Amino acid sequence: MFAGVGGLVLAAGKGTRMHSETPKVLQTILGDPMLSYVLRACAPVCEDRLHVVVGHGADTVRQAFPEWEGRFVVQDRQLGTGHALATALPVLVAAGYGHVLVVNGDMPLLTTDILAGFVAKALEMDSDVAFATIELDQPGAYGRVVRTSDGVRIVEAKDHDPSRHGPATGEINAGLYLLRLSVIQRLVPLLRNENQSGEFYITDLVEMAAQSGGVVAAIKRGRDAALLGVNSPRELSQAEEALRAGRVDDLFDQGVLVRNPGQVRVGPRVTVAPGAEMTGPCELYGGTAVGAGTKVGSHVWIRDCTLAPGCEILPFSHLDGATVGPLCKVGPFARLRAGAVLCEEARVGNFVEVKKSVLGRGVKAGHLTYLGDAEVGAGTNVGAGTITCNYDGKNKHATVIGENAFIGSNTSLVAPVTIGADALIGAGSVITHDVPDGTLAVARGRQSNIMRKRPAS
């Protein structure tokens, strides 16, 4: 979008105020790491010129974003934002960028439009150092913007002294910068850490650039909450709620019927076709795709699933990594685990669990059943209480059931085993050997009725 503009996302901090060992940028919002929101916003602006500084939990962050390998810069010691920039500077200079857009990795409300507008304005002003400002009634721990007749500077909250810098005006640094590399390359080595935190601040570049005759631009964004970072559990929850509400509004605009919308949570990568319906409370995360006419009931949790048009997910069902075909019905109280595939018009009912199994067209498993590592042919009926005994304590084994078979209630199929097409398994059987096509298999002890012994009266 902007040739010659590279991008740098600062994602090295621990986030002490989150009170968690998880790197702050990996805290999830609507199921996705906070950092992913920033990267998605930056990518169209910087294209393949985007780099990420990691530090605390660097390996964990890199593992969470394997597609970004080769773009990471490791800050071994977290000595402040200025030090993070210094660590990345050789990479940025070697790439030959004219400017670099610097963004904090804890700004999940950022949008591409905001970033593009900021960069365009800063370039138009031909600035050497540009930064965005917003106004807050309670500036908290954000750096204060101090404007005087001599120019503008940023003073970190811990270092702000009203007797020296004047009273806080509510204008704060938003943590968004566009820096001319030729200028910054000269100034960054001059940064000092003589402040309350003992850190090297990127914000000091503003005053340093002005004093050296550079062009500094403080670009006001009013009260734009999208530029606020996340520094505490409360702020994370507030950001998540803002994104949740905006996501639901988008669904309405796309022609999706959302009932009880205040309790519907849909992740940023979820796609929902017009004409689909969902009823809160429900949660859809990851790369889930919902087809037209599909209905998602209340108290349903879904992640990384494909729901074909016209299927129905009944209340209290849990789906993770499953594929549900057209006109299927799932639930209530069903669980589809990774690798579960339901072909057209299959039916999985209450308290049925399916894992790494394919259920053919029209298969019915109505009640209290576990199907793991199985292939079930079209038209087969699986009775209540059936389980595929797929694990022998060391390895998983497959169960194959042919088309139009009938599995009686309370049956155990001890894998590896194959049940032929049109076979009938008697209720209560424990099947340990293959059953040929079209045969009846019964594997249970013969019933004996023995007279009870009653105590003497």
Q: Please indicate if the annotation marks 57 as binding a ligand.
A: no
Same domain, 343 and 285: yes
Q: Please indicate if the annotation marks 75 as binding a ligand.
A: yes
Separation between Cα atoms, residue 336 and residue 317, nearest integer Å: 8
Q: Please indicate if the annotation marks 143 as binding a ligand.
A: yes
**102 inside domain:** yes
Same domain, 277 and 166: no
**453 inside domain:** no
Q: Please indicate if the annotation marks 452 as binding a ligand.
A: no
pTM of the model: 0.91
Same domain, 377 and 311: yes
Domain count, the chain: 2
Of 160, 195, 227, the residue at which a domain comes to its end is 227
CATH code of the domain containing 314: 2.160.10.10
Same domain, 244 and 216: no
Same domain, 115 and 251: no
Of 183, 203, 227, the residue at which a domain comes to its end is 227
Same domain, 177 and 242: no
Same domain, 169 and 252: no
Per-residue pLDDT of the chain (457 residues; tens, 9 = 90+): 898 999 999 999 888 888 999 999 999 999 999 999 999 999 999 999 999 999 999 999 999 999 999 999 999 998 999 999 999 999 999 999 999 999 999 999 999 999 999 999 999 999 999 999 988 877 767 778 888 777 787 887 777 777 677 777 778 888 899 999 999 999 999 999 988 888 899 989 988 998 899 999 999 888 888 898 898 999 999 999 999 999 999 999 999 999 999 999 999 999 999 999 999 999 999 999 999 999 999 999 999 999 999 999 999 999 999 999 999 999 999 999 999 999 999 999 999 999 999 999 999 999 999 999 999 999 999 999 999 999 999 999 999 999 999 999 999 999 999 999 999 999 999 999 999 999 999 998 888 898 888 887 6
Q: Which domain holds residue 108?
A: 5-227
**272 inside domain:** yes
- Residue 367 designated active-site: yes
Same domain, 202 and 287: no
**151 inside domain:** yes
83, 367, 397, 433: the catalytic one is 367
Q: Please indicate if the annotation marks 334 as binding a ligand.
A: no
Same domain, 183 and 301: no
**451 inside domain:** no
**400 inside domain:** yes
Same domain, 132 and 250: no
**282 inside domain:** yes
Positive or negative torsion for Cα 31, 56, 61, 89: positive
Same domain, 275 and 222: no
Same domain, 105 and 127: yes
For residues 380 and 406, is the Cβ–Cβ distance under 8 A? yes
CATH code of the domain containing 49: 3.90.550.10
**402 inside domain:** yes
